[in-house]
Amino acid sequence: MLTRILIFALVSLLACKPDPVEPPTPVDEKVYTPTIALKDKATFPVGAAVQANRLNLPSLSNLVKKEFNSLTAEYEMKQNIFMPAANTYNWAPADAIVDFAVANGMRVHGHALIWHSAVPDWVTNFAGTDAEFETMIRDYITTVVTRYKDKVASWDVVNEAIADNGGTLRNTIFRERMGDDYIAKCFQWARDADPDVLLFYNDYNAEFDQTKRTAIINLINDFKSRGVPIDGFGFQMHISHDAPSMATLTTAVNQVKNTGVKIHFSELDVRANPNKDLTSLTLARAQSQEARYKAIAELHKSLPANQQFGITVWGIYDDESWLINFWGNIDWPLLFTGEGLYKISHRGFVEGL
Ligand code: XIL
């Protein structure tokens, strides 16, 4: 009898036992909870490239407001968007970004007045004389810079004008129509339209290509000696988690620093999957990327204060990065996951600032 009571008691006890505790959800060490925003830690402006229509998403725009104090239009301030047809301006998308920035006390960096990859068809097919072409471009620059005077602090006047092999001028419609000195003309027109706006030349691969970098330094020094206005250079900084080396990047940045112009890391993103060997982001790769963001922030911080124009990250959510289409493979180059979670790359960036 006693045995039966004991068994009954044991069975009842087991039956009443609460459900076993759920095993803890595995912690994703690739994301974390931030303690401070980038802009609050930084001693120079920290910006992001944004798309006008994405600012309508509250979770994204709140993140932008919280983290950044400088904005760049990812594509809305390029000529193919600004001027889809002759004498026809499309201001609305750019205005949305500029108004958002102004309303939230952010700096606006204009990007980019002249870029061979954003030429509207009607400009490519322009039927007038070379002189008429030049007047059209002058009017374009004057109109755009004048419209955003007092709102846009700085412009990439010409983007990617140096070719990749041998540091010569890239052959573009602007060079063909306006001659080799077209870059200087564009800078001068921008200055004439706004005496206070800062004028940048922006390019890629100067981070590791000594020939291209020398050509850029020569351009800056030539402008200075001729009195052509130029205030800064933008290293685009599309880099990988493991390349170029920090030694290479430091040499590159210091060489351009020696010209005395301001330095912008203008389109920072860090490929975690440059060799296309991953299908999802691993912790090891995320940590390598975290270290990169930290080192890049430290590099910018090492510049003389008056040459620190700031760092702009090229996008917000990983899954919207331009790199995915550009390289044709999955990657996670930015500071936030596709769900808007803080990646540890953000932690590295904060630490370096
Ligand atoms: C890219 C944008 O991210 C894309 O949305 C757009 O379609 C094409 O341009 N160098 C530059 C940027 O200077 O303007 C480019 O941005 C990326 C490479």
Specify the ligand 1 atom closest to the Cα of 51: 5
Q: For ligand 1, is residue 327 a contact (CB within 6 Å)?
A: no
Instruction: Out of 74, 76, 134, 267, pick the active-site residue.
Output: 267
What's the CA gap between 333 and 166, in Å, rounded? 29
Active site residue 67: no
Closest residue (by CA) to atom 7 of ligand 1? 75
Lowest mean pLDDT across 25-29, 109-113, 166-170 = 25-29
Section 280-289 average pLDDT: 98
Q: For ligand 1, is residue 203 a contact (CB within 6 Å)?
A: no
How large a percentage of the chain has pLDDT more than 90?
92
Which candidate, 237, 213, 336, places its Cα nearest to that of 295?
237
Instruction: Out of 160, 207, 298, 339, pick the active-site residue.
Output: 160
pLDDT surpasses 90 at 264: yes
pLDDT tens digits, residue range 168-181?
Answer: 999 999 999 999 99
pLDDT tens digits, residue range 232-257?
Answer: 999 999 999 999 999 999 999 999 99
What's the CA gap between 11 and 85, in Å, rounded? 82
**Strand positions, DSSP E, the chain:** 46-50, 70-73, 107-115, 154-159, 198-203, 232-235, 238-240, 262-271, 308-313
Single-letter residue type at 324: I
pLDDT surpasses 90 at 70: yes
Section 269-285 average pLDDT: 98
Report the DSSP beta bridge partners of residue 343.
31
For residue 181, with 0-12 CB atoms within 10 Å meaning exposed, 13-18 middle and 19 or more buried, which class applies?
middle
Lowest mean pLDDT across 26-30, 198-202, 285-289 = 26-30
Section 260-270 average pLDDT: 99
pLDDT at 26: 77
pLDDT at 19: 57
pLDDT at 10: 52
pLDDT tens digits, residue range 186-240?
Answer: 999 999 999 999 999 999 999 999 999 999 999 999 999 999 999 999 999 999 9
How far away, in angstroms, is 75 Cα from ligand 1 center? Answer: 6
Structure tokens at 42: 């930084």
Count CB neighbours of 58 within 10 A.
Answer: 8
pLDDT surpasses 60 at 135: yes
pLDDT at 165: 86
Q: For ligand 1, is residue 345 a contact (CB within 6 Å)?
A: no
pTM (2 d.p.): 0.94
Active site residue 22: no
Band (123; pLDDT cuts 50, 70, 90):
very high
pLDDT tens digits, residue range 295-311?
Answer: 999 999 999 999 999 99
Mean pLDDT estimate for the chain:
95
What's the CA gap between 242 and 277, in Å, rounded? 14
pLDDT surpasses 90 at 148: yes
